[in-house]
Amino acid sequence: QKEVEQNSGPLSVPEGAIASLNCTYSDRGSQSFFWYRQYSGKSPELIMFIYSNGDKEDGRFTAQLNKASQYVSLLIRDSQPSDSATYLCAVNMDSSYKLIFGSGTRLLVRP
């Protein structure tokens, strides 16, 4: 079992819809959770991080964390074609500064 699991997709949504991206993790010691966006051929860029159970909103993005279920998600409201990218989920344990990444979910937003 991989430490961080994501559906590879592609997840295809129409412009203006809500895109829901999901991630599960295996290590209950994971403390902090990150969502990165990566355009093809580019490096990852941080969208959001969350470390408390519940929701965290930032503009069109909402991260949701459920530590009991070992589940973290990212909602993108009013999806735009420019949101088309691979979304990487990453986790971190406080004892280390490294990030453990999932394999990413490819999102396609259709105009």
- Provide the binding-site residues for other proteins, judged by CB under 8 A: 4, 8, 32, 34, 42-46, 49, 88, 90, 92, 96-104
- Are 44 and 88 in contact by the 8 Å Cβ rule? The answer is yes
φ/ψ bin of 106: left (φ > 0), alpha (ψ from -120 to 50), beta (otherwise): beta
Cβ distance to other proteins smaller for residue 13 or 91: 91
Q: How far is the CB of 32 from other proteins (least distance, A)?
A: 6
Looking at beta carbons only, is 20 or 92 nearer to other proteins?
92
